[in-house]
Amino acid sequence: MVIFEGVCTVLGLIQGVLVAINRRSNWIFYILQMLGLFIFSSLNHLYGDSINSLVYLIIGIIGFIRWGKEDKDKITFCGGKERLAYISILVIATIITFFLFKNTNDPLPLLDALTTVSSLIATYYMVAKKIDTWAIWFINDILYVVEYFMLPNQAVMLGVLNIIWTGLAVYSFINWKKLAKEGELI
């Protein structure tokens, strides 16, 4: 278990730095990390995180392909209606997911549901190059710190990784905002 946690932590650090500086290669480390996190989450009965990891594997492949297209997208903010939509989806999907998880042996069904849904939304916006992704990731990373330290078998390395990612989310927000003003393409 410690091996998966350690490998995922190192891959996550590399990926976090690469995405913060807008490098396509971040998706390679992202995909590898998702494989490790799937195993880790499955062993800890975190069903939402296990499902996330499999979905993220697919999203990672899509992200790698999309970020490599000739007609690269510019970095932008979400509009007001889009923010309202993702907040509504977050609330409704978290409630539904919680009810799915609460009758399992998931040790933290509400927190697992919330991090599951918010991670999916944040990842979608990361692929779409929306600056809002970093605000979502900031909150989500804090929640993951809480989740990993509340587990019966604490995931200390992954908790520390999410503390680092919280800082990287702030840096990424600032950097992507600057790049958006400059009109830079990733």
Whole domain around residue 60: which residue ranges?
2-182
Q: Which amino acid, one-letter code, is at 155?
A: A
pLDDT: which is higher, 83 or 39: 83
Closest CA to 56 of 109, 112, 144, 122: 122
Distance CA 46, CA 50 (A): 6
Distance CA 49, CA 47 (A): 5
Distance CA 7, CA 120 (A): 22
pLDDT digits over 2-26, tens only?
787 888 889 989 999 999 988 899 9
Query: The whole model's pTM is what?
Result: 0.84
- The domain tally of the chain equals 1
Closest CA to 94 of 37, 140, 39: 140
